[in-house]
C-alpha cells in the first residue's frame, strides 16, 4: 500500500477503489490464467503484499507467476525497484511501479499500491485489488498449483471464514492503521478501543483452536499473520497500539510463532524492510525518520507449544511447500530464520 496520511481532526479512511480486473481460468475479463504472462509486484514491507507472497508460495505458483520486489521505501510518486542492480525490474524494465499504472491509464488518479499484477506482454497493470487477487490465486490458478497445495478457502467453512476475515480486516488489519493515522485524540481512542476488543476476541478464539478456523490453515490465517508479525516491531509504538505487546498475549503470540515457523509464512518476512518502510515513509508520524534498533527477533523461534491442539495443518492430502527458491530468499541478516 501507499498514500496513508494523517488528516487533522478526521478518522482514517482507507481508499478501497482498486482496479478490479480479474485474471481467471476462462479469461472472462480479457485476462486468462497463463504461465509466464503476468508478474506479481510486491514489497516485503507491505502487509497486503505479504499476503500475496505467502499465498503464491503456499500454492506453489512461483514457476508460473514471477515476482518483482520493490524496495521498502518510496516517495509520494511510487514504489521503486531500487533493490535490482540497475534500479529497474529485470522483467518489466521499469524503474517505478507507477509506469505500469500509467501504461494502463496515463491519468491514473489514485495511489500506486502493492500488490499489483502486471501483464508482461503489454507492461500494463491488470489488478491491484489485494482482496480478490489472493482469492483468484486460490480459485482460478488451480491448474498450475503444486501437488499437495492446501485449500485456503474450504467450502465447508465458507460462511464462518468470510465472517472471521471480515472482522479481522475491519478491526485488526485496518484497525492498526485507524489508530496510527487518527487525526484527533477522540478518533484515536475510538480506534484503539475497537482494535483491542478484536484482539481480545482473537486471544479467546485461539485458546482452543490451533488456527483461526480450527485444525487447518486457511487464508484467514494468512490475513491475520501479516498484521501480527508487524505488531511489536511497528504497530505497538509507531501506530500507538500500545495497550500491550503481542508477546504479552499468550495465545496470539504462540499462534504467531507457530505460523512464523511454518514453511511459507516466516520465510517471506523481512523485518528490516518492514521497519524501514513504516518509520521512514510515514514522516508525518515519525518526522525524524529514525528507525528503532529493536525489538529482538530471536523469540520468534522459541517453541510455540501448540502441537497438542487438534491439527490437520495442510488439510486432507495437503503438504507443506518446499524450500524457498534461492533468488527469493529473504536476506539472512533481516530475519531470525537463518
Q: Catalytic positions, please?
A: 46, 177
Neighbours of 63 (CB within 10 A): 11
Q: Say which residues have a Cβ less than 8 Å from residue 17's Cβ, sequence separation at least 6.
A: 110
* Residue 66 vs residues 36, 63, 91, 167: alpha-carbon distances, Å: 7, 7, 9, 31
Find, among 45, 36, 105, the residue nearest to 69 by Cα: 45
- Sheet of 116-119: strand order equals 66-70, 38-43, 116-119, 124-127
Q: Residue 61 corresponds to which cell in the numbers above? A: 505458483
Contact 281, 46 (CB under 8 A): no
Residue 320 phi, psi dihedral angles, 5° rounding:
-70, 150
Helical packing angle, 130-139 and 47-59, nearest 10°: 0
Was 79 annotated as part of a binding site? yes
Q: Smallest Cα–Cα separation from 63: which of 145, 129, 160, 2? A: 145
Task: Judge whether 57 and 264 are in contact, CB under 8 Å.
Answer: yes
Q: Cell triple for residue 219?
A: 487464508
Q: How far is CA 19 from the centre of its chain?
A: 18
Annotated binding site: 79
Annotated binding site for glutathione: 79
Amino acid at each position: 500500500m501507499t498514500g496513508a496520511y494523517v488528516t487533522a481532526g478526521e478518522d482514517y479512511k482507507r481508499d478501497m477503489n482498486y482496479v478490479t480486473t480479474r485474471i481467471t481460468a476462462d479469461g472472462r475479463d480479457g485476462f486468462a490464467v497463463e504461465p509466464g504472462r503476468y508478474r506479481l509486484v510486491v514489497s516485503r514491507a507491505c502487509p497486503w503484499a505479504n499476503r500475496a507472497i505467502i499465498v503464491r508460495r503456499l500454492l506453489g505458483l512461483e514457476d508460473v507467476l514471477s515476482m518483482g520486489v520493490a524496495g521498502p521505501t518510496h516517495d509520494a510518486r511510487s514504489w521503486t525497484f531500487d533493490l535490482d542492480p540497475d534500479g529497474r525490474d529485470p522483467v518489466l524494465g521499469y524503474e517505478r511501479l507507477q509506469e505500469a499504472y500509467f501504461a494502463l491509464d496515463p491519468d491514473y488518479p489514485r495511489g500506486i499500491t502493492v500488490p499489483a499484477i502486471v501483464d508482461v506482454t503489454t507492461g500494463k497493470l491488470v489488478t491491484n485489488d489485494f482482496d480478490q487477487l489472493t482469492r483468484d490465486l486460490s480459485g482460478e490458478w488451480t491448474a498450475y498449483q503444486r501437488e499437495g497445495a492446501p485449500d485456503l478457502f474450504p467450502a465447508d467453512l465458507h460462511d464462518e471464514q468470510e465472517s472471521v476475515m471480515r472482522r479481522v480486516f475491519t478491526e485488526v488489519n485496518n484497525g492498526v492503521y485507524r489508530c496510527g493515522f487518527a487525526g484527533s485524540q477522540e478518533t484515536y481512542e475510538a480506534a484503539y478501543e475497537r482494535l483491542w476488543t478484536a484482539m481480545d476476541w482473537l486471544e479467546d478464539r485461539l485458546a482452543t483452536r490451533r488456527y483461526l478456523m480450527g485444525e487447518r490453515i486457511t487464508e484467514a490465517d494468512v490475513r491475520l499473520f501479516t498484521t501480527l508479525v508487524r505488531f511489536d516491531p511497528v504497530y505497538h509504538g509507531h501506530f500507538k497500539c500500545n495497550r500491550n505487546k503481542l508477546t504479552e498475549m499468550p495465545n496470539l503470540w504462540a499462534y504467531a510463532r507457530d505460523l512464523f515457523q511454518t514453511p511459507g509464512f516466516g520465510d517471506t518476512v523481512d523485518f528490516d524492510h518492514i521497519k524501514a518502510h513504516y518509520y521512514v515513509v510515514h514522516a508525518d508520524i515519525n518526522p525524524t525518520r529514525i528507525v528503532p534498533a529493536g525489538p529482538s527477533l530471536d523469540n520468534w523461534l522459541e517453541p510455540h507449544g501448540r502441537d497438542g491442539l487438534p491439527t490437520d495443518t495442510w488439510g486432507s492430502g495437503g503438504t507443506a511447500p518446499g524450500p524457498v527458491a534461492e533468488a527469493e530468499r529473504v536476506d539472512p541478516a533481516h530475519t531470525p530464520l537463518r
